[in-house]
Amino acid sequence: ENNFFIYSVEWTPKSLVWYVNNVEVHRTNENIPHESLYFGINSFIPKSKNGTTGKLEIEWIRAFKVRE
């Protein structure tokens, strides 16, 4: 069983679009940042899930600028 996912964000001057395994899961055209940002990675288990432990493994992170 494959328990790995690919998370992506496409950031343009007009929108931010989030994907999981190349499927769009959220899009916004509001409050788009226009300054340089950095990666921040976080993992948590919500209290509503009654979880006590969790594990996050990151194999790689890649950022690139798309040529227009």
The helix (run of H) or strand (run of E) holding residue 29 is: none
pLDDT means per 10 residues, the chain with 68 residues, are 82 93 96 90 76 78 80
pLDDT of residue 68: 65
DSSP classification of residue 48? G
pLDDT of residue 58: 87
Model confidence pTM above 0.75 = no
Q: Hey, which bits of 3-65 come out as E strands?
A: 7-11, 16-20, 23-28
Amino acid letter, 9: V
Closest among 67, 60, 68 to 8, alpha carbons compared: 60
Instruction: Please check whether residue 25 is in contact with residue 18, taking contact to mean a CB–CB distance below 8 angstroms.
Output: yes
pLDDT of residue 40: 87
